[in-house]
Amino acid sequence: MWEHFFSHLLVASYVSILAAVAFYGFHRYVLVYLYLKHRHDGYLPKSKFQDLPRVTVQLPMFNEDTVAERIIDASCAIDYPLDKLEIQVLDDSTDHSADIARKACEKWAAKGFPIRYLHRTNREGYKAGALAEGLKSASGEFIAIFDADFIPPKDILYNCINYFTEDKVGMVQVRWDHLNRDASLLTKSQAIFLDGHFVIEHTARNRSGRFMHFNGTAGVWRRCTIDDGGGWQHDTLTEDLDLSYRCQLKGWQFVYLPQFSAPAELPPEMIAFKQQAHRWTKGSMQTGIKLLPRILQSHLPAQVKWEAFFHLTNTIVYPLMVLLTLLMYPTFFQMFAPFKAHSWSQYIFSFSLFILATCSAGTFFAFGQRELFGKEAGWKAVLYMPILMALGVGISINNAKAVFEAIWSSIKKKPSEFVRTPKYGVTGANRAKMRKDIFTFRRLMLPIIEIAFGCYMGACLWISFWYQCGILPQSDKSGWASVPFLLIFTGGYFYVGFGSIYAMWQMSQEQEEEVADVYELPA
């Protein structure tokens, strides 16, 4: 009796979790639909400024030795009247990066450029704190923000500024482009992920009247919009998402311009990629906990509330994917032996994996590539789907950890540390420095868990293979459809886990070479 009860409870739990994942996956189809419906509803400035307004360009940075000078040079090359421009380098650096940035500022200031170097002796509030500190002395009516790894185009201010002739427009965002898109399989995959976000997701939300958000960089704010929304706050790790929703709740309108772009580098190795994904996931969940009750209780239209709900809660998919992974063996291999000939559980197993692994992802990302690079690129993107799905599965443990940390920090009301994404200087030739204690248990614990999950899924794959090949007496050869998806899960966990350890090993090797250079010893 009890065995019967627990078996049904197990399957019910699995199906419920799968339904929730499919629910969020279906939302991608909604975004594609909204994009297709509104993709030709582009914005044009209502008029042009007769007298250009003053703009302050803020460049927040922290220990950015490989890219500090580049972003300062690119910002000083922006085409805008110098008497209407101010550039603030907001540097919280604690290493030699501060000297690099300071010298670059002095070089351009000597040439007559309106650039100021502002260095804080503490990182209170992290990036949000630096931006807020810069606003205290900023003279611009509008604030343009660029992270250190970006290269702002010369015409970016002229492309954005005239949209602010409409008084209700509070922020203008341009699309991200990628300097090292084709550097590796990892950067290519990240580029496709982000292109889907910027081409489909942002456009669909903005042009359909739903809330979108500032992406932390490559955008221009109206100064009074920031103040009206409550200013930069650092109780979440995504201060940009937080401020965006607070301002739109106040009635400010945002404009997204996918026809214009600002290029930046993508993390070229697994550790940096996971740090960035962890921060974005944790910050998004923190923002949802902070603002979603206020949004749902507001008088906003129902479609705006629904989209905000999906946007601010979609990170819950990551712990759900981890749970689904854990439940696969006990639910389907032990309780129901799903590969018995034509059993109902066999079809549920294959179908559930199909939904989980392919739910709308192919359509979403293929459309993003097609819109950017043409039909051929869209078809090529389909070939990357197994890699994208594997990476999404593999990163789920890292991001699930971020979700639980966000919930815990919100309960404890304790601010989270802002861990910057290491910058490499376009090609990845210059690697970020880590502390000497690279191979600590704390650093290795997550990759070990990811590899363990890969072994677990590999065992499920082997059991499945035995059933399909007729090695076991209950075998049935009609269930091959499940094998490719088990391969994706296995490969995803192994790729992220071993990729993390390999990145640590590379960093430790380079540290040894640096020490050898200092002491003139053979590396």
Write out the catalytic residue numbers: 92, 240
Q: Which long-range contacts (CB under 8 A, 24 or more apart) does 463-472 make?
A: 463/333, 464/339, 467/339, 468/339
Is 250 within 8 Å of 291 (Cβ atoms)?
A: no
Beta bridge partners of 494: none
| 169-178: strand order across its sheet | 115-119, 85-91, 55-61, 142-145, 219-222, 169-178, 253-264
Reference 381, options 195, 180, 178, 176; nearest CA is 195
- Amino acid at residue number 410: S
Give me the DSSP letters along 319-343: HHHHHHHHHHIIIIIISS-TTSTT-
Sequence-distant (≥ 6) Cβ neighbours of residue 247 within 8 angstroms? 170, 171, 225, 226, 228, 229, 254
Give CA–CA dist 158/48, Å, rounded: 10
Give CA–CA dist 11/13, Å, rounded: 5
Is 302 within 8 Å of 425 (Cβ atoms)?
A: no
Q: What does the DSSP 8-state code read for residue 84?
A: G
Reference 266, options 277, 255, 258; nearest CA is 277
User: Which SS3 state, helix, strand or coil, does residue 48 take?
Assistant: coil
Residue 66 phi/psi, 5° resolution? -85, -20
Sequence-distant (≥ 6) Cβ neighbours of residue 61 within 8 angstroms? 68, 71, 89, 90, 91, 92, 93, 97, 101, 147, 148
Q: What is the residue whose two structure tokens read 């059991």?
A: 463
- Amino acid at residue number 290: K
Is 319 within 8 Å of 400 (Cβ atoms)?
A: yes
Give CA–CA dist 430/216, Å, rounded: 24
Give CA–CA dist 191/79, Å, rounded: 28
Give me the DSSP letters along 181-206: TTSSHHHHHHHHHHHIIIIIIHHHHH
